[in-house]
Amino acid sequence: GAVVSQHPSWVICKSGTSVKIECRSLDFQATTMFWYRQFPKQSLMLMATSNEGSKATYEQGVEKDKFLINHASLTLSTLTVTSAHPEDSSFYICSARDGNELRSYEQYFGPGTRLTVT
């Protein structure tokens, strides 16, 4: 089946620094990628939707200047957490939608990235 990878799988950074998380579709072209965040013992919450070559659409309450999303190619989207603070510590997950109609535009989830800000 199709695979979505995320890198890194976990990262620890100091408060005030920026962290970039990559999401890659390994064997299909993803016209749309989604970024989710999960706080402990809570559901995954959609942060933003990114379409290749255009600006991301952010959900209400998500700061677009803090969570920079770039979807520069059909196989790669990046999420950069700028000036990270301890409250940004969370589990970040991406999903990618297959752009091929013959594969029913199926959506696949990445394994997630655990961010800890100290």
Chain contacts with other proteins (rule: CB under 8 A): 9, 32, 34, 36, 41-46, 49, 91, 93, 95, 97, 105-112, 114
66: burial class by Cβ within 10 Å (0-12, 13-18, 19+)?
middle
Q: Considering the complex, what minimum distance in angstroms separates the CB of residue 43 from other proteins?
A: 4
Closest listed residue to residue 74, CA positions, set 106, 113, 33? 33
Tokens standing for residue 100: 């091929």
Whether residue 94 contacts residue 30, with contact meaning beta carbons closer than 8 Å, is answered with: no
Q: Minimal distance in Å, beta carbon 109 to other proteins?
A: 5
**Among all chains, which residue has been given the structure tokens 């200047």?**
65
**What are the tokens at 79?**
């999420």
Q: Rank residues 14 and 41 by Cβ distance to other proteins and give the closer one.
A: 41
Q: Which amino acid is at 97?
A: R
Q: Least distance from C-beta 103 to other proteins, angstroms? A: 11
Closer residue to other proteins, CB minimum distance, 16 or 64: 64
In the complex, the smallest distance separating the C-beta of residue 23 from other proteins, rounded to whole angstroms, is 12
- Which of residues 27 and 106 has its CB atom nearest to other proteins in the complex? 106
